[in-house]
């Protein structure tokens, strides 16, 4: 299946962070490459939606559907306040 | 202040359908009256939430087709054959119906006039929707930035907003169409897929620091994005939005 | 509850014998492609299936060897945790019993692991006695990569996230070790008839 991108997560992430984050930069914990949330590769699965680093494909964000709510796991994508460089 | 503005946009509200417009055999535009609409930026989208009588809920995102200056909020929806929501929106929904909506949402794939240009807008299929909002916003302003719009569709009957987009072609804006599967024998536009050669001739040279927005199915977006980088455009000045699979 | 959207029904629900539909599920003819990552494409010449872990009888099969094993064609109902059930789906594959025949283990659990990194955990008894297959055909055709081809695990009596796509092996374990979705809070067992969707259900 073709991946979507982080634009598709704008709503759920705004619910979670209380802020619009698709333009925000973050660093992949696994390969240290910076990317904007909108550039993450997003895969829709049954139990949840997975966002992967566009450079190394590691899972950096997971939005998991549980008991009527969505849990956002973002421990592998360190959001940075400023663009890189 | 920012927090308040955002929480308003995340709140679901009831939007009333005020018009349904046939665009192509597969696409309809739906105009809404949204009581507490705070305005939007071209390129943003809304979330729609539908609830069936048995409590079943489906939620989808749709790019806003109207410009911030337009007097109604308009979405354009393509009917997917195996879709769950798009057949409802394009075949069942009618004037007077109310559905839940929230937004606007999105801060990355947006263009407003202060961002300037030159602007390259490259659309595949229903990816034209947010780019059309950008063109309408551009047209409502001073039109300082030069615009190149390149719109790829399968066939002539799949081209959304064709009359409107054609009439823009002129001062400081170039509008070009590509048909990939079938075209009339006298077709003067591009025949076949958008490729590097077409991109090199259709949009301003990289040296002019073109700001590019690419939207459509994933394969289209990735091919065009790679081609642009291949002819020298800065990756940092290319913004992409991948849509799900198109209708057949 | 949210306001009703006039005339909205959602995905077409098929009429079905209620005794075949677990609690909270609807029947559908659809078979959507759902995935946690990109579709892998391992060339068959490089493909192998392995059973290892808590055993001294680790064993593996090449693609040709797997296809040479006795196979079964089965028709089963499948149940996705997103509430959709698809009845009478037809598959062809090798029973996991056949693959476990030569393997002795003290382990009572296993982790199924796959190309692309997906994992899911299962009790050994959930893949034994005719309950699981390594399936390589769906509906009479070679299994499409988007649906897990060349081969996927098929465990129809559990929620379908346990039927791991692109499976490459089973690692036997002494403890139940949560796999990909289980680590995010999904149920270690996943029996749709007991609605075991999430940890603690």
For residues A71 and B24, give the distance between their C-alpha atoms in angstroms, rounded to a whole number: 39
Decide if B61 and A21 are in contact by the 8 Å CB cutoff.
no
Q: Is B7 helix (H, G, I), strand (E, B) or coil?
A: helix
For residues A35-55, give the mean pLDDT. Answer: 95
Bridge-partner residues for B191, per DSSP? Answer: B179
Cβ atoms of C68 and A75 closer than 8 Å? no
Which of C34, C39, C146 is opposite residue A46, by nearest beta carbon?
C34
Task: Count interface pairs B-C at CB distance under 8 A.
Answer: 45
Question: Counting one residue from A and one from C, how many pairs have CB atoms under 8 Å apart?
Answer: 51
**Within an 8 Å CB–CB cutoff, is residue B58 touching chain C?**
yes
The helix/strand/coil state of B63 is strand
What integer pLDDT is reported at residue B207 of this predicted model? Answer: 84
Return the sign of the alpha-carbon dihedral for residues A45, A50, A53, A58.
negative
Q: Is C5 on the interface with B (CB under 8 A)?
A: yes
Chain C: residue nearest A68 by CA? C198
Q: Read off the pLDDT of each residue in C174-193 and give the average, rounded to a whole number.
A: 97
| Structure-block tokens of residue C83 | 């509430």
Average pLDDT over all residues of chain C: 96
- For the record, the structure tokens of B196 come out as 């590097």
Q: Look up residue A40 and give its two tokens.
A: 């993450």
List B residues 168-227 in contact with C (Cβ-Cβ < 8 A): none
For chain A, helix (H) and strand (E) counts, in that order, are 1, 8
Residue C39 at interface with chain A, using a CB cutoff of 8 Å:
yes
Residue C13 has pLDDT above 90, yes or no: no
Mutate to test the interface with B, among A3, A6, A10, A26 (most CBs of B within 10 A): A10
d(CA C54, CA C108): 9
Enter the tokens of residue C172: 């036997």
CA B23/CA B162 separation, integer angstroms: 9
pTM: 0.93
* Cβ pair B120, B150 in contact under 8 A: yes
* Mutation target vs C (from B14, B30, B47, B56; most C CBs, 10 A cutoff): B56
Partners of A59 on chain C (C-beta within 8 Å) are 36-37
How many Å lie between the alpha carbon of B35 and the closest alpha carbon of chain C? 16
Which helix (DSSP H) or strand (DSSP E) does residue B175 occupy?
Answer: strand B173-179
- Number of continuous H segments (helices) and E segments (strands) in chain C: 3, 11
Q: Is the dihedral of CA C114, C120, C123, C129 positive or negative?
A: negative
Interchain contact, A46 vs C161, CB within 8 Å: yes
**Residue B69, CA distances (Å) to A18, B74, B134, C82 in order:** 27, 12, 11, 40
Residue C115: name the closest of C60, C45, C166 by CA: C166
Of C5, C26, C32, the CB nearest to B50: C5
Contact state of C34 with A59 under an 8 Å Cβ cutoff: no
- Pick from B47, B107, B218: CB nearest A22: B107
Please tell me which chains touch C, using 3 or more CB pairs under 8 Å as the contact test.
A, B
In a 3-state reduction of DSSP, which class is residue B6? helix
Confidence of residue A85 (pLDDT cuts 50, 70, 90): low
What pLDDT is stored for residue B113 in this prediction? 93
Residue-wise pLDDT tens digits, B175-224: 999 999 999 999 999 999 999 999 999 998 888 899 999 999 999 999 99
First to last CA, chain B: 45
User: How near does any CA of chain A get to the CA of B107, in Å?
Assistant: 6
Closest chain A residue to C83, measured at CA: A46
Q: How far is C104 from chain A (nearest CA, A)?
A: 33
Q: Name the average pLDDT for chain B.
A: 93
- Residue C108: pLDDT band by 50, 70, 90 thresholds? very high
The answer to whether B8 contacts chain A (CB < 8 Å) is no
Residue A72 tokens read as 């956002």
List of chain B residues with pLDDT < 50:
1-4, 248
- The burial class, CB within 10 Å (0-12 / 13-18 / 19+), for A32 is exposed
Closest CA relative to residue B165, chosen from B155, B175, B152, B179:
B175
pLDDT recorded at residue B1:
35
Q: What is the mean pLDDT of residues C66-81?
A: 98
Reduced to 3 states (helix: H, G, I; strand: E, B; else coil), residue B119 is strand
Would you say B6 and A14 are in contact if contact means Cβ atoms under 8 Å apart? yes
Extract the tokens encoding C181.
Answer: 């979705």
Give yes or no for B85 touching A (CB within 8 A).
no
ipTM over cut 0.90: yes
Distances (CA, A) of B91 to B30, B84, B94, C131, C142: 11, 12, 8, 43, 36
CA distances to B102, B178, B206 from B234, in Å: 34, 24, 7
pLDDT for the residue B3: 41
Q: Of how many residues is chain A composed?
A: 85
Instruction: Check if C8 contacts B (Cβ < 8 Å).
Output: yes
Q: Which two tokens stand for residue A31?
A: 């390969």
C86: Cβ–Cβ under 8 A, 6 or more apart, which residues?
Answer: C27, C28, C29, C30, C31, C77, C78, C80
Helix (H, G, I), strand (E, B) or coil at B219: helix
Beta carbons of C5 and B52 less than 8 angstroms apart: yes
- Give chains near B: 3+ CB pairs under 8 A: A, C
Which residues of chain C lie closer than 8 angstroms to A44, CB-CB? 34-35
Question: How long is chain B?
Answer: 248
Contacts of C71 (CB under 8 A, 6+ apart): C92, C93, C94
- pLDDT at site B143: 95
How far apart (Å, rounded) are the C-alpha atoms in residues B78 and C3? 24
Report the chain C residue with the minimal C-alpha distance to residue B86: C10
User: How many residues in chain C?
Assistant: 201
Phi, then psi, of C149 in degrees rounded to 5 = -70, 150
A interface with C, Cβ–Cβ < 8 A, is: 1, 3, 41, 43-48, 50, 52, 57, 59, 62, 64, 66-67, 71, 73
Partner B, chain C 49-108, Cβ-Cβ below 8 Å: none
The beta-carbon neighbor of B92 closest among C1, C2, C7 is: C7
Do residues B203 and B176 make contact, with C-beta atoms less than 8 angstroms apart? no
Residue B206: other Cβ atoms inside 10 A: 16
Band of pLDDT at residue C15, cut at 50, 70 and 90: confident
Query: Which residues does chain B have within 8 Å of residue C3's beta carbon, measured at their own beta carbons?
Result: 14, 51, 98, 100
> Does residue A66 or residue B178 have the better pLDDT?
B178
Nearest CB among B14, B92, B93 relative to C3 is that of B14
Q: Per the structure block, which two tokens stand in for A85?
A: 């460089």
A8 contacts B108? CB cut-off 8 A: no
Of all helices (H) and strands (E), which one includes residue B132? helix B128-139
**Beta pairing partners, B27:** B78
């Amino acid at each position: 299946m073709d991946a979507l991108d982080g634009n598709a997560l704008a709503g759920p992430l705004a619910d979670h962070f209380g802020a619009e984050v698709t333009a925000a930069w973050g660093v992949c914990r696994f390969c240290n490459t910076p990317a904007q949330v909108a550039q993450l590769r997003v895969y829709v699965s049954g139990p949840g939606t997975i966002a992967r680093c566009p450079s190394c494909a590691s899972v950096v964000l997971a939005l998991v559907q549980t008991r009527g709510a969505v849990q956002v796991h973002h421990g592998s994508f360190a959001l940075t306040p400023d663009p890189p460089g | 202040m920012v927090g308040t503005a955002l929480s308003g946009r995340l709140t679901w509200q009831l939007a009333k359908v005020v018009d349904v417009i046939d665009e192509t055999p597969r696409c309809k535009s739906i105009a809404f009256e949204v009581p507490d609409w705070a305005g939007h930026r071209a390129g943003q989208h809304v979330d729609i939430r539908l609830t069936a009588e048995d409590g079943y809920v489906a939620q989808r995102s749709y790019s806003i087709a109207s410009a911030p200056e337009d007097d109604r909020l308009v979405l354009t929806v393509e009917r997917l054959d195996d879709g769950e929501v798009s057949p409802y929106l394009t075949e069942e929904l009618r004037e007077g119906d109310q559905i839940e909506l929230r937004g606007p949402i999105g801060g990355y794939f947006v263009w407003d006039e202060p961002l300037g240009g030159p602007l390259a807008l490259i659309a595949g299929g229903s990816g034209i929707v947010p780019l059309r909002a950008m063109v309408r916003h551009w047209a409502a302003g001073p039109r300082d930035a030069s615009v190149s719009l390149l719109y790829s569709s399968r066939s002539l009957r799949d081209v959304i907003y064709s009359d409107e987009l054609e009439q823009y072609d002129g001062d400081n804006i170039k509008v070009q169409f590509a048909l990939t599967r079938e075209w009339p024998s006298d077709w003067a536009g591009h025949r076949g897929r958008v490729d590097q050669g077409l991109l090199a001739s259709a949009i301003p040279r990289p040296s002019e620091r073109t700001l590019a927005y690419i939207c459509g199915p994933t394969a289209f977006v990735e091919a065009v994005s790679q081609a642009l980088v291949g002819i020298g455009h800065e990756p940092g000045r290319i913004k992409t939005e991948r849509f799900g699979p198109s209708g057949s | 509850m949210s306001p009703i959207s006039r005339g909205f029904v959602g995905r077409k629900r098929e009429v079905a014998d209620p005794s075949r539909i677990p609690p909270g599920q609807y029947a559908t003819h659809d078979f959507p492609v759902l995935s946690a990552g990109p579709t892998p494409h391992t060339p068959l010449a490089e493909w192998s299936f392995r059973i290892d872990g808590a055993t001294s009888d680790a064993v593996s099969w090449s693609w040709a060897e797997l296809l040479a094993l006795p196979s079964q064609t089965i028709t089963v109902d499948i149940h996705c945790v997103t509430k959709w059930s698809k009845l009478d789906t037809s598959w062809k594959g090798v029973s996991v019993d056949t693959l476990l025949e030569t393997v002795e283990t003290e382990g009572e659990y296993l982790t199924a692991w796959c190309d692309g990194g997906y994992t899911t955990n299962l009790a050994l008894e959930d893949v034994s006695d005719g309950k699981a297959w390594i399936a390589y055909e769906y509906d009479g055709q070679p299994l499409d990569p988007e649906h897990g081809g060349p081969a996927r695990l098929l465990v129809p009596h559990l929620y379908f996230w346990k039927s791991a796509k692109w499976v490459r092996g089973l690692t036997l374990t002494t403890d139940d070790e949560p796999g990909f979705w289980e680590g995010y809070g999904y149920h270690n067992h996943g029996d749709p008839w007991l609605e075991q969707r999430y940890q603690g259900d």
